[in-house]
Amino acid sequence: MMRTSVLLVLYAVLALHVSPAVAEAAGPWKAQVVDAETKQPLEGVVVLAWWTRSVRSFGGPGEEYRDSQEVLTDKDGRFAIASRWFWSLNPLVFFRGPFFAMFKSPYGGFRWPGYEGSEAWPQEKRKSLQTAAQLLQLEGLVLEMPRLRTAEQRNEYLKALDVPAVAVPLDKQPLMQEAIAAERRSLGNR
């Protein structure tokens, strides 16, 4: 009887101190994408968002694919990634993301011109907008993509493009893979 009471108290204490691992409820993530020079909307930009699941351990966290969503910008250059909520009963598990990659030939990586000059902002504001996941929750956000003028620039961008095939299974990013393959073909690459 005493042993059962001790076990019940122990379970109650553990239940109070061990809470489920939860990713912040967030999203949707949305923006308009425009040509950096002309400021005209870019239709057909592939937008890939992904999340990872990590497990804390003595060797450091192990990270694996959790979820993703891939969309194209519409005729007005707009896209939206649906809200996500992840949780786990394991307190050693945490979720990260979304991370973002965008691609459209012949353009380079996206940027938010409103972040330029942010060195003068208060540190708290700078920190709150330092990731794409935080930034893309702002209302009325406009991102710019610069046009790459030469084949050399386009090839360099393809080499540097950070689309994690390891983090996101290839079958979960068919639009991105096809857009990159088409760009390689147009540049004479295999």
For residue 135, is it within any domain? yes
Weakest mean pLDDT among 87-91, 142-146, 147-151, 173-177 = 87-91
For residue 82, is it within any domain? yes
Domain range for 157? 18-186
For residue 6, is it within any domain? no
For residue 67, is it within any domain? yes
pLDDT in tens, 106-134: 999 998 886 666 666 667 666 666 677 77
For residue 8, is it within any domain? no
pLDDT in tens, 51-102: 888 887 777 667 788 889 999 999 999 999 998 888 788 888 888 888 888 9
For residue 4, is it within any domain? no
What pLDDT is stored for residue 130 in this prediction?
Answer: 61
Give the contacts of 108 (CB within 8 A, at least 6 positions apart): 145, 146, 147, 148, 153, 157
For residue 120, is it within any domain? yes
Q: How many domains does the chain have?
A: 1
Look at the block and give the residue holding tokens 């400021």.
Answer: 39
pLDDT in tens, 64-76: 888 899 999 999 9
For residue 107, is it within any domain? yes
Is the pTM for the entire model greater than 0.85? Answer: no
